[in-house]
Amino acid sequence: MTILVTGATGNVGRNVVEQLLAEGASVRATSRDPEEAGLPPGVDVHAADLARPETFADALSGVDSVYLFPSPDTAGEFAKLAEAAGVRRVVVLSSLSAKETGAENDEIGRRHVLVERAIEASTMDWTFVRPGSFAANTLQWAHSIRAESVVRAPYGDAQVAPVHEKDIAAVAVRALLDEGHAGKAYELTGPESITQRQQVELIGKAIGRPVRFEEQTPEQARELMSKWALVGVIDSLLGYLGEAVGRSAEIFDVTEKITGRPASTFADWAAAHARDFA
């Protein structure tokens, strides 16, 4: 059985590849630039781009299962190609935002709902893995921490439950390899509700020096985010944070139920990624 991993060089995809290999699975992966992918030996790497689903014809040949990185504009076309190639099972990296009431009116939720609906409309067995806030999102603070030992962000008291990318991958791997996950949507979080300020403190402990949190206004954050994100995405992100101030984040124990081990704490994640901030 060959498993195709799309988005294989991303934070979650790379961990899916490594964990599948550790299970002895036959792994094929796609990258827009296979020579620069840096994936482990034993991975069959093909050139393909989710923005151009037709490039997957070769990569899908002989594949039984797919880990799908979300690409809302082309999810329907990809699903048809996968069906035609004989793919039986697909595990989608979705988002906790896709389960919220009115997700279609939230840009991040809307994009993930589009992917989920395209896959649901296929004949393949599907599983949706819906993480909340990624612990790895804090890597956007790495430059200012290295340069100034400071993090500038809005809504420092917003509470989140950051989930480790290895835990997301572990749940996806179980859904790819084991029976009993078809038609399920798994909501994933870390095991604790912590503020952005507390995340900064934990990063400081991991690297052995204090890191200061400097509160931005939402307007200052919007101006900076506009350099790399769409307006709708910025609205969603700032909206999530604003609503999370003074409110404990919802915690799900799905990681432990599916993998048999507790979800990793943010302190665990920070210790594992200390060199990114040092």
pLDDT for 205-259, tens place per residue? 999 999 999 999 999 999 999 988 889 889 989 999 999 999 999 999 999 999 9
Residues 218 and 115 in one domain: no
**DSSP letter (8 states) at residue 52:** B
Q: Is residue 169 part of a domain?
A: no
Q: Is residue 228 part of a domain?
A: yes
Residues 71 and 100 in one domain: yes
Per-residue confidence (pLDDT) for residue 127, from 0 to 100? 98
Residue type, 160: V
Residues 207 and 111 in one domain: no
Q: Is residue 202 part of a domain?
A: yes
The β-bridge partners of 128 are: 92, 185
Residues 127 and 138 in one domain: no
In the chain, how many domains are there? Answer: 2
Range of the domain at 25: 2-131
Residues 29 and 87 in one domain: yes
Maximum Cα–Cα distance across the chain: 55
Residues 42 and 105 in one domain: yes
Measured distance CA(183)–CA(203) in Å, rounded? 37
Q: Is residue 174 part of a domain?
A: no
Q: How confident is the model at residue 28 (pLDDT cuts 50, 70, 90)?
A: very high
Average pLDDT, the chain: 95
Residues 7 and 97 in one domain: yes
pLDDT for 59-103, tens place per residue? 999 999 999 999 999 999 999 999 999 999 999 999 999 986 555
Crossing angle of helices 231-244 and 107-120, in 10° steps, is 110
Q: Are 139 and 133 in contact (CB under 8 A)?
A: no
CATH of the domain at 65: 3.40.50.720
Instruction: Characterise 246 by phi-psi region: left (phi > 0), alpha (psi -120 to 50), beta (else).
Output: left
Residues 120 and 35 in one domain: yes
Q: Is residue 172 part of a domain?
A: no
Question: In this prediction, what percent of the chain has a pLDDT beyond 70?
Answer: 98
Per-residue confidence (pLDDT) for residue 108, from 0 to 100? 87
Residues 209 and 264 in one domain: yes
pLDDT for 148-183, tens place per residue? 999 999 999 999 999 999 999 999 999 999 999 999
Q: Where a domain ends, among 110, 131, 152?
A: 131
Per-residue confidence (pLDDT) for residue 230, from 0 to 100? 86
